[in-house]
Structure 1
């Protein structure tokens, strides 16, 4: 099978074009001159630029690896019997009893689906698969792995051409805040790698790279010496020596002092190292605590629930139900409560260096699909983004403003389509007028939602619609200005976020009977045993403004974050909660294509759900510390 590089659809090997999106399966554009070249071509025939797909190969075993004698060798040498992976560069390690061969290999069939191995994956693969969800930016992606003739083979994302940490470690332009950022990552990695016995990975200077966001990145993992090798195990003393050996050394005296304390054995644990980094961070003027940051993110929302509950109590059961979902095929329950999945990244008690953040990049993608069982699409969405970029010798400053709106219409016939489309257009016009220099505050956002509701409600009144004939729509919306975000919603269209440290978190709580009962103190199992548990308590359009209580939540973005806005065609059956690590976590990487990610989600939702329209908006926000020119001598 051939995997489409655009939408990742699996195609028969005879196909020249993807039968899903129409992209070419034979040619791609040279990234230098734009000429069409074969996917398996090593170089562009027009300009000579290298265009091949390269992997970093690791082979563990005792048998020798045949490698090209010179770079000019004409007879190709392959890593595998199928002659897919051609060796183009060899970098064997020296002086290790369990020597690992390493090198770069050219993929001669880059679109070919990797054959799934019948046997268990080699244990050399295990630490990558286990740790990458917590260190997705730091650890390389695993492409393929297999065992043959007593040897273990592992192919990784090739990072050998990335910038080395040692190249800029001693630069006078690197600020203290940047170095603290790297040291904190190294400390977290050391703690995570210790039980796996791979701390040697941080002692190899040539293994410490930086990605395009200046984030620490490893080419691979090096195992610690085995006991029979009679070599000392890696220690924090060795870590201090390694970092002090970087040439030129850091001009920051305060950093060198910490490294010298490591070498002297005065810092004997990772927690002690993190304490020293946190102290230096505070002394340098960045005193915001992680607890304060988390509190401001997680406990500033839904301050109007008391008023809402009082108003809801006055409603009769009949009035409380906006519409019946009997026309919607729902096989399983939706998520009943907001869930926060946490990955383990070090000790919870260990201090973390928290730096003021600024926007580094903003990417987004959106798509809507009719689904497998509907004859028309009542979902709608809108994206409006404005980005201003300034570049200078020390980097770039990015200013951005983004409005993301998703609506899931209802009402029968074409009413749902009209409602969702009109709500999106109304909100876009509203914020084009109200959004000036600063991001709108909570009240302005709520007023915009209430205004959109009034527009739909007035049309319903004019048409004298009643019951299920009254058009309406759910709403999930995100406003972004730099690294500040506002989340607003009405109904059951959700907003999630994914971060490396926090995993998947649902940021909205569905406006439905089951959730209303839970807020009243009813046990979740009892609340969702009601036949009307999934009927909405709020939506835009069916009722006047007295019955609309939009929820608005304000957030600061302090780490790279992927936001997901989706209709229930995607979120039903806990689809994201069960599969976020496979479908969302990889999209945190700058190299991941969000359009492809949306396509994969839509395809997967059609396979697993498919009973409703499916709409997804993905917003990837990357941030970096505010690197001021501070020299601590």
Structure 2
């Protein structure tokens, strides 16, 4: 017989019946029962045993994983203060898609240092419901090349915000990085210790994943990691490199989009103040371009319906942007989307001023908009209309309401559930048309499409009272699986909004995405990375000029200005051939000078792709101390200062046999120790993997003997990723320096509440 204390209490305060964990609705009154799985951070958890109840409500399911058996009651929060351990979670709430929020605290402890986080678990729609999601490392090998780069891209995007809060070490622990389909989710945050981690440490961690990466991106990742190790990549350059890799792989992806919309006044409102684009009742397949808008008017009889329609009229002209232009990068498109939002705001604000509307008489509107471009979806948001992302594994709210409660959390003042309990917590802090554009801060988010999914855009007539979280698996998931059409799902959601809520207008827009991906036969070109490092400044300058040209042409969105827009894009297309012509002319002149001035130059050996340095690095004094043999353990990264030979067959080294299997590693190569063999008589053997070559000339051996060796050697040149054996005693004199050691895949549990890991 099941422990009665371990059963779920109905959230309905008039019922409170006990239910089984598998029940979605109360067996007596039919109330929806949310499943709240919580991850405990802090010391003292070891005192509880699996199956026990903590604080008379939290059931310990497994190590540090609790289930709230009384989801209808507010958690214990009021008596606890915000600490340095909990504040980063609050301030990072804009990234709550990947970073958990603090749910509450575990009372009854002497120190009161145990807090509970929303745990990354499998949803109730999956067979593994309630279990922790797999680590990125465990899921890595089975992922496509596009998803592998997508995961790394998300980590790179999080690097800067987590650095600003002193918790970027969280991204260096593979046990904390969990994945749900294409989404990376952190189990908890880990505080930085003595010094803030660097991109080089992230590169060391990623090297552990390279061996099991898809073959067509191995070389690209090797070069990327080596550049990170050398410190020649900024965070922006790292994101840009991954962006280019994803864009290249995205060309091997086929996508089909279906858009369906509907808006309804609801059972209690006399007038519909919502508006949408495409117009209500439409279902469109493979639209070009794909632009979807939902607006919820503010102002009641004062003109909310006017404001929402004005916003839609302006924002639908986003389709004039060159969304199919491969030269339009993410930053330029984000700026364009924000500019259109400000234009819509000014159009409504000007209408308010012309009609002498002040204070509460001013009309306004919320906004949520989805724009598809190639392999990406851009979500733009102002107010409290929402966007959700639904996949086969879960439902995720993408937007954060622009209300008082969210602002309090973002500033680090309050937990979200505490903020919701305060007066005026749902009051909007910004909406279109209420003030000048200088005070408006729209949010634009970018998502990579690498799985079948649906983006839901809706007004609060549906999203209130967590109706989306309650019904996504029965009303929307069947559309992803092909069991119903998108239009049927929209009709069902509108019905839910009217019957389960019924207090407001209801507007729903679904964007269904079907994705088919085939692994490219050709590996990613290594020049993809070199373009980011060497030509990033030039590209940014060119794009900035092109963007300013587009901006000047689209300030006034009138029929005549649309002609200027097309003209500006024609000018932009003409700039590219001119630039290419200039580059070819300069290149030709350089080659001519080379042959005229260097006919007697000695032939140089084959060059490998190198780790480029964007600026001259200071010359370091020569390292005279020897590297200890004990430092060359498995996982160590070393950089050599002269050429070495690696033997593919370790037995050939011991026997001193033929040199036919020798491969030559060039000067300044970076290698990883992958294994070692103990040999008491002749010394240990090391197996090394060749990763890349650094081009830091301060560290290259340029002695005459070295150059002569490069010219006269007959050994074949090693290939990137190739491995071979060498005597440890032979390697040590050639080691310029060690670059650290790749981290272990397993991490022990710490009792420190800011650093504990599973």
Larger-Rg structure: 2
> Normalising by the residue count of structure 1, what TM-score does the alignment of the two structures yield?
0.44
